[in-house]
């Protein structure tokens, strides 16, 4: 894969977007599917291509925090602090939308999600569009499926329906941005992601909490239980039970792959139905590989993916969240 698209490709992509086209582009988190927010037909196409319900809001992407003033209003001091510290980067801020943001983008809510992606191709594309134009960009996958972390993933899933795919190589983070809203002076994590909670807490002097499912006041479709799911049923098991479960299914004749981060000995070695795929024991490296790994094993047509539950540590929060949702989607009988 090329590490950077040639300038001419970026100019061509910007021209397509200005004409109301839909272009997939790389970010540091996952690939996005971009449309100019001022083109109602282009925004409508995003929803159609993804098969996403139209009341689910989109994140607006731009090239620098100076844009905050145009697209949001009543921006709290904490939001400015986070923008200054983490942008460009894997952080989305949910703020009161300004009158410039079309309702089609916000799903009728009075808030808008805003983010500055940290990828040279994304930034070059946004800059090539000019100062007045910004991009609505959901992850470039069908609704409820795994986000793409390479241009090839986008090509496989949406290739025929998009106008262009910019290839910026594999995504560095591999999981979506952390989404943060505000409740008075308190920052609330609505979706764990590329920026871990302790990093936010350090900048905000501790004033950040993780939104409890039950307290969630805003709708976050990424928070639907069955989001981010592979086609193959996925089960999440604690380290001690993983091997036992694999043997139980393997001896019934099911083809199993164990996806594990720890190097503990497994006692299933001689069962030919059971494959073992080692993952990194460090969260940044694990996060980068996760979605690509799930896609790969989906294609290899295993009957079941058995994933070792990640460590219960703050750095693993986004990974634990995505695996939990993927396993909820896949719950079925043996
Ligand atoms: O890393 C990312 O955030 C990627 C890249 C492409 O930037 N984008 C992404 O977009 O993950 P999407 O559409 O797949 O997920 C955006 C999430 C959704 O769960 C949506 O509900 C939430 O952001 N969201 C957007 N605007 C919101 C708002 N005003 N209030 C609450 N949630 C919002
Ligand atoms: Mg998505």
Within a domain: residue 125?
yes
**Last residue of some domain: 149, 173, 197?**
173
In the chain, the number of structural domains is 2
Residue bearing the CA closest to ligand 1, atom 20: 220
Asked if 238 and 166 sit in the same domain, the reply is no
Give the pLDDT score at 266. Answer: 67
Asked if 157 and 263 sit in the same domain, the reply is no
Within a domain: residue 278?
yes
CB of 109 closer than 6 angstroms to any ligand 1 atom? yes
Asked if 239 and 127 sit in the same domain, the reply is no
**Last residue of some domain: 155, 173, 191?**
173
Give the pLDDT score at 215. Answer: 45
Tokens describing residue 184: 């008075």
CATH number at residue 282: 3.40.50.11030
Asked if 25 and 145 sit in the same domain, the reply is yes
Asked if 147 and 258 sit in the same domain, the reply is no
| Residue 177 CA, ligand 1 centroid: distance in Å | 8
Within a domain: residue 295?
yes
Ordered per-residue pLDDT tens for the chain, 334 residues: 344 568 999 999 999 999 999 999 999 999 999 999 999 999 999 999 999 999 999 999 999 999 999 999 999 999 999 999 999 999 999 999 999 999 999 999 999 999 999 999 999 999 999 988 999 999 999 999 999 999 999 999 999 999 999 999 999 999 999 999 999 999 999 999 999 999 999 999 999 999 973 344 444 545 555 567 788 999 999 999 999 999 999 999 999 999 999 987 666 667 899 999 999 999 999 999 999 999 999 999 899 999 999 999 999 999 999 999 999 755 544 4
Within a domain: residue 133?
yes
- Using alpha carbons, list the distances in angstroms from residue 261 to 240, 277, 286, 320, 329: 13, 9, 8, 13, 22
Asked if 152 and 265 sit in the same domain, the reply is no
Residue bearing the CA closest to ligand 1, atom 32: 220
Within a domain: residue 325?
yes
| Residue 92 CA, ligand 1 centroid: distance in Å | 8
CB of 141 closer than 6 angstroms to any ligand 1 atom? no
**Rounded CA separation 76/54 (Å):** 28
Within a domain: residue 60?
yes
Within a domain: residue 315?
yes
**Rounded CA separation 137/23 (Å):** 9
Torsion from C-alpha of 221, 198, 71, 43, nearest 10 degrees? -30
Asked if 239 and 150 sit in the same domain, the reply is no
Within a domain: residue 246?
yes
Closest atom of ligand 1 to 173 CA is: 1
Give the pLDDT score at 328. Answer: 76
CB of 222 closer than 6 angstroms to any ligand 1 atom? yes
> Domain range holding 27?
6-173
Asked if 166 and 260 sit in the same domain, the reply is no
**Residue position matching structure tokens 């460009």:** 88
CATH number at residue 154: 3.90.870.10
Asked if 76 and 166 sit in the same domain, the reply is yes
CB of 178 closer than 6 angstroms to any ligand 1 atom? no
**Last residue of some domain: 125, 158, 173?**
173
Asked if 82 and 165 sit in the same domain, the reply is yes
Asked if 27 and 111 sit in the same domain, the reply is yes
């Amino acid at each position: 894969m090329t590490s950077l698209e040639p300038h001419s490709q970026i100019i061509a992509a910007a021209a397509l977007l200005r004409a109301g086209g839909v272009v997939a582009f790389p970010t540091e988190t996952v690939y996005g599917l971009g449309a100019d927010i001022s083109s109602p037909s282009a925004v409508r196409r995003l929803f159609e291509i993804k098969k996403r319900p139209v009341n689910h809001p989109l994140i607006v992407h731009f090239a620098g925090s100076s844009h905050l003033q145009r697209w949001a209003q009543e921006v709290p001091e904490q939001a400015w602090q986070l923008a200054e510290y983490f942008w460009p980067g894997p952080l989305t801020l949910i703020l009161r939308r300004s009158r410039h943001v079309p309702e089609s983008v916000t799903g009728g809510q009075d808030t808008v999600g805003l983010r500055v992606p940290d990828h040279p191709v994304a930034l070059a594309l946004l800059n090539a569009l000019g100062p007045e134009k910004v991009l609505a960009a959901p992850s470039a996958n069908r609704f409820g499926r795994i986000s793409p972390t390479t241009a090839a993933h986008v090509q496989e899933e949406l290739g025929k329906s998009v106008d262009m795919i910019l290839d910026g190589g594999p995504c560095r983070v591999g999981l979506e941005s952390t989404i943060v809203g505000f409740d008075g002076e308190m920052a609330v994590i609505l979706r764990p992601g590329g920026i871990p909670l302790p990093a936010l807490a350090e900048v905000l002097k501790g004033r950040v909490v993780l939104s409890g499912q039950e307290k969630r006041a805003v709708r976050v479709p990424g928070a639907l239980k069955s989001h981010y799911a592979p086609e193959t049923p996925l089960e999440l098991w604690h380290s001690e039970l993983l091997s036992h479960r694999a043997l139980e299914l393997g001896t019934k004749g099911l083809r199993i792959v164990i996806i594990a981060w720890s190097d503990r000995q497994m006692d299933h070695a001689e069962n030919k139905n059971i494959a073992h795929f080692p993952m990194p024991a460090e969260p940044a490296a694990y996060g980068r590989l996760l979605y690509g790994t799930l896609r790969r094993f989906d294609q290899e047509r295993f009957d079941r993916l058995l994933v070792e539950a990640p460590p219960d540590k703050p750095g693993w929060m986004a990974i634990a969240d995505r695996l939990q949702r993927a396993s909820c989607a896949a719950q079925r009988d043996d």
